[in-house]
């Protein structure tokens, strides 16, 4: 089975939130001749190598491979392997996650189809998330942090009144609540904020109920303030990282010889589609204005001269292969693009 048919057969079910993807894919065993043919052609005839790649790879994988191959060598990023995944969803989006993985929704590729400069901007942006060590806070991590904030609020209020602590412990909400808030969250009927009140009102009766209700309201107030503050921090960090990734994308693509207009094309597209500010991304018009300022900050001639020199120092195409997860295309590093036996120490 060829790489083209195997990659075309991959059906990924992806969930995107804060740059995190999960995929379910079938396995695939490549034929022995595929990588050997590529390795031989890399050394001797780059043009023939690219022609082979064009025949072997699905069109979108081939296009992204060509961009990553050039961008990695022009920016001295070819010491690392990169992985490509194309998600079968019409969302106009792309993301970076996992180990050097850059992923693209077909909805975005459809919108910028045939424009290598716009594609290069998107590729550079996702690569930048990796090179600049941008780490998205995953859903599970966010939930854990919010649970810890709730536990802190319970601890703070219960510490103010010994009788309240005794009431909580009598309900089995003592150490368990204060450490993991597991029993509270396990009976969640109205979100994290409303959970404590629901449980306490279900159980408590009589004279203690009014005091417990007042304490619960204070717990909710403390939690809401803490949660709002940390969510504002997450949003500010996300926006900062997006602006930074845009800036490095501009540098990477121009240094690789692509037209900087490609980034403006992408941002204009997002603006036209009405992509507004969110928890994870700044408003598209703000990103467009920032990109327009990069031309004066980074002289095109300087960047292209640097890229030309880097390409001369790494002239051979980077090879590709199916990654070990059997579902993504790996663009091999400079060292990984050599034949293993030939590169092995000879002394």
Alpha carbons 41 and 56: distance in angstroms, whole number: 14
What is the value of pTM for the model shown?
0.74
Alpha carbons 156 and 178: distance in angstroms, whole number: 10
> What is the pLDDT at residue 4?
55
> What is the pLDDT at residue 214?
79
* DSSP state, residue 324: T
Alpha carbons 105 and 306: distance in angstroms, whole number: 31
* DSSP state, residue 105: E
Alpha carbons 203 and 179: distance in angstroms, whole number: 21
Contact between 7 and 329 (Cβ < 8 Å): yes
Return the structure tokens found at 163. Answer: 């009788």
Instruction: Count CA atoms closer than 13 A to 190's CA, side-chain side.
Output: 8
The string of DSSP letters for 112-130 reads TTT-HHHHHHHHHHHHHHH
C-beta atoms surrounding 273 within 10 Å: 11
Alpha carbons 270 and 134: distance in angstroms, whole number: 22
Question: Strand pairing of 101-105 and 329-331?
Answer: unpaired
Alpha carbons 344 and 319: distance in angstroms, whole number: 18
> What is the pLDDT at residue 31?
39
> What is the pLDDT at residue 108?
94
> What is the pLDDT at residue 271?
87
Gyration radius of the chain over CA positions: 26
Exposed/middle/buried for residue 1 (C-beta within 10 Å: 0-12, 13-18, 19+): exposed
Q: pLDDT by residue for the chain (347 residues), tens digit each?
A: 455 544 444 323 233 333 333 433 333 333 334 554 555 555 668 888 899 899 989 999 999 999 999 999 999 999 999 999 999 888 889 998 888 999 999 999 999 988 999 999 999 999 999 999 886 666 667 788 888 888 888 888 877 766 666 666 665 544 444 443 433 434 444 455 455 555 555 544 555 667 777 778 888 888 899 989 988 888 888 899 999 999 999 999 999 999 999 999 999 998 888 878 788 888 989 999 999 999 899 999 999 999 999 999 999 999 999 898 888 999 999 988 877 887 788 88
> What is the pLDDT at residue 1?
46
């Amino acid at each position: 089975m060829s790489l083209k048919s195997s990659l075309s057969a991959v059906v990924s079910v992806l969930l995107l939130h804060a740059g995190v993807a999960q995929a379910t894919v079938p396995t695939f065993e490549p034929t022995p001749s595929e990588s050997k043919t590529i390795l031989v052609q890399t050394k001797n005839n780059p043009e023939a190598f690219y022609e082979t790649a064009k025949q072997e790879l699905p069109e979108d994988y081939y296009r992204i491979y060509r961009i990553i191959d050039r961008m990695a060598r022009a920016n001295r990023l070819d010491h690392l392997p990169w992985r490509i995944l194309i998600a079968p969803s019409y969302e106009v989006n792309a993301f970076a996650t996992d180990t050097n993985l850059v992923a693209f929704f077909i909805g975005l590729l459809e919108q910028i189809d045939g424009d290598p400069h716009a594609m290069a901007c998107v590729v550079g942006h996702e690569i930048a998330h990796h090179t600049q060590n941008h780490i998205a806070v995953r859903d599970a991590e966010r939930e854990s942090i919010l649970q810890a904030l709730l536990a802190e609020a319970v601890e703070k209020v219960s510490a103010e009144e010994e009788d309240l602590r005794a009431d909580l412990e009598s309900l089995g909400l003592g150490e368990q609540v204060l450490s993991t808030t597991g029993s509270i969250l396990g009976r969640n009927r109205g979100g994290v904020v409303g959970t404590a009140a629901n449980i306490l009102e279900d159980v408590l009766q009589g004279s203690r109920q009014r005091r417990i209700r007042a304490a619960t309201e204070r717990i909710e107030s403390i939690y809401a303030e803490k949660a709002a503050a940390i969510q504002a921090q997450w949003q500010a960090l996300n926006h900062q990282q997006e602006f930074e990734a845009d800036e490095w994308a501009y540098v990477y693509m121009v240094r690789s010889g692509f037209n900087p207009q490609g980034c403006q094309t992408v941002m204009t597209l997002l603006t036209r589609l009405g992509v507004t500010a969110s928890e994870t991304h700044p408003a598209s018009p703000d990103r467009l204005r920032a990109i327009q300022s990069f031309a004066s900050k980074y002289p095109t001639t300087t960047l292209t001269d640097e890229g030309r020199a880097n390409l001369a120092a790494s002239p051979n195409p980077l090879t590709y292969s199916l990654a070990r997860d059997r579902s993504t295309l790996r663009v091999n590093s400079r060292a990984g693009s050599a034949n293993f036996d030939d590169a092995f120490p000879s002394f």
